[in-house]
Amino acid sequence: MSFKSLGLSEPLLKAISKKGYETPSPIQAKAIPPVLEGKDVLASAQTGTGKTAGFTLPMLHLLSKNPIQKHRPIRALVLTPTRELAAQVHANVKEYSEFLNIRSTVIFGGVNQKPQVARIRQGIDILVATPGRLIDLESQGVLSLKRVEIFVLDEADRMLDMGFLRDIERVMKLIPNKRQNLMFSATFSKDIKKLAYSILDNPVHVEATPENTAVEIIDQKVHRVAKGKKTGLIIKLISEGNWKQVLVFTRTKHGANRLTKKMISAGITAAAIHGNKSQGARTKALAGFKRGTVRVLVATDIAARGLDIPLLPHVINFEIPNISEDYVHRIGRTGRAGASGQAISLVSADEISYLRGIEKLIGMKIDVEIIEGFEPDPNASTEPIKPGQNRNRGRGGQRNKTSNSRNSGGGNKNANHNRNKNRNRRRNNENRN
Ligand code: ADP
Ligand code: MG
């Protein structure tokens, strides 16, 4: 199987080989042909399997086949849940369109809208956007979506988790009825099916590698440890292992900040990435981490979701998530695109019930190792940490308020779903993007 045999045009093949890809990933091989045929496609494959190129390449192929229109109306719209993902998808669009006469831009909140508006006014073919800023600029009359031919919902499961259902529905009203729809998701749940049913027209559903395959190739370990000794242990692991690029997950933003400070005091370069950080600070932290000047990136789930950091060798759960699926997403940051990685979880007594839930989900027991000097506290309570016990509760971001916390008002289809309710509550607590 080659990219050429999928029917992609020469300028795209050139960009692909410049990027260094030799063969299409399984989800790309499955998704690209039906997209090229103009069909609606629902594609699900775990994080890190190359879904971005799965929609970007055929989208560029289709757009470049049609003649450029004089005023360059927006012909393709890609919605993503977070700013970082929007930026990443757009970076991909730019790379793959290098040898095509296609213009694109990206818009997201948290930064000045002026440069975004100026770029849109010049005329662009492809717009990558987060829902909030998109709706905002549309209602200001800065952009029109009336000529959209291809609509892409990327990371659709994240969109739902983050309470963007209403915003998606609003966007659907702004684009023409006759269009090609593509929906990409890491998971394929009942809610995703429901959303797909409401957006897609007679879709082709393609899937690649069940979620557990990744889980199996990642070297996973649990260190049972007393809660108060976690910081000491993580510093020991990173320094003694001489680990150079480590992604650490914490439960809260405060926790991320605290841990980052302690790492820095211990002489380990670290940066925190979470929703209370300015866009500039986040971009800087991520760039430093990718370059290698920042050894440890400490992140909350939402901030880290979908970040494309190739070949990440180590992921540490400073606290394990209380939503089992999040564990799979977290460790999906390691061993991307075939390379193997290591995922370590520091588990205190109050997290044991969450650990059992994770083991049930992934269908395997994770090896436990106790490190001398960092033993678990035999007297600690095994009462689970309640999601609501975070300090920064209730200071959710804007998007948060418009969707999640108004669930009780009805209308949000997710609200009926218990698991989602919990999840949303947790999202609120975490106080995300
Ligand atoms: P997903 O959206 O499924 O999480 P991404 O699109 O972010 O995954 O891709 C994950 C990583 O795999 C990126 O670093 C990307 O450059 C790389 N990648 C994508 N397609 C290929 C391919 N065909 N060959 C090699 N690497 C690829
Ligand atoms: Mg993706």
Assess whether the C-beta atom of 336 lies below 6 angstroms from ligand 1.
yes
* 77-109 burial code (b ≥16 CB/10 A, e <16): bbbbbbbbbbbbbbebbbebbeebebbbbbbbb
286-292 contacts, C-beta under 8 A, 24 or more apart: 286/84, 289/245, 289/247, 292/244, 292/245
Q: Using CA positions, which residue lies closest to atom 5 of ligand 1? A: 50
What integer pLDDT is reported at residue 154 of this predicted model? 97
pLDDT above 90: residue 248: yes
Q: Tell me, yes or no, whether 153 and 227 share the same domain.
A: no
Assess whether the C-beta atom of 209 lies below 6 angstroms from ligand 1.
no
pLDDT above 80: residue 334: no
Assess whether the C-beta atom of 21 lies below 6 angstroms from ligand 1.
yes
Ligand 1 atom nearest to 25, measured from its CA: 23
Query: Of 158, 180, 209, which marks where a domain is finished?
Result: 209
What integer pLDDT is reported at residue 210 of this predicted model? 52
Query: Of 181, 209, 237, which marks where a domain is finished?
Result: 209
Q: Using CA positions, which residue lies closest to atom 25 of ligand 1? A: 21
What integer pLDDT is reported at residue 354 of this predicted model? 94
* Count of domains observed in the chain: 3
Provide the pLDDT confidence category of residue 191 given band limits of 50, 70 and 90. confident
Q: Tell me, yes or no, whether 196 and 240 share the same domain.
A: no
Which of 16, 28, 49, when mutated, tests ligand 1's pocket best, judged by the most ligand atoms within 8 Å of its CB? 49
Where is average pLDDT lowest: 53-62, 199-208, 211-220? 211-220
Percentage of the residues of the chain whose pLDDT score is greater than 90: 62
Q: What is the mean pLDDT of the chain?
A: 85
pLDDT above 70: residue 338: no
What integer pLDDT is reported at residue 335 of this predicted model? 64
What integer pLDDT is reported at residue 387 of this predicted model? 62
pLDDT above 90: residue 48: no
Q: Using CA positions, which residue lies closest to atom 2 of ligand 1? A: 51
Question: What average pLDDT does range 114-123 have in this prediction?
Answer: 95
Distance CA 410, CA 407 (A): 6
Q: Tell me, yes or no, whether 112 and 126 share the same domain.
A: yes
pLDDT above 60: residue 284: yes
Q: Tell me, yes or no, whether 229 and 242 share the same domain.
A: yes
What integer pLDDT is reported at residue 66 of this predicted model? 84
The CATH number of the domain where 49 resides is what?
A: 3.40.50.300
Q: Tell me, yes or no, whether 407 and 358 share the same domain.
A: no
Higher pLDDT, 425 or 24: 24
Contact (CB, 8 A) for 28 and 59: no
Question: What average pLDDT does range 49-71 have in this prediction?
Answer: 91
What integer pLDDT is reported at residue 361 of this predicted model? 81
| pLDDT one-digit tens code per residue, 145-167 | 999 999 999 999 989 988 999 99
| pLDDT one-digit tens code per residue, 362-418 | 878 899 999 999 999 988 888 887 664 443 333 333 333 333 333 333 333 333 344
Provide the pLDDT confidence category of residue 131 given band limits of 50, 70 and 90. very high
415: containing domain: 393-431
Distance CA 119, CA 69 (A): 17
What integer pLDDT is reported at residue 214 of this predicted model? 60
pLDDT above 80: residue 303: no
Nearest to 220 by CA among 352, 319, 359, 337: 359
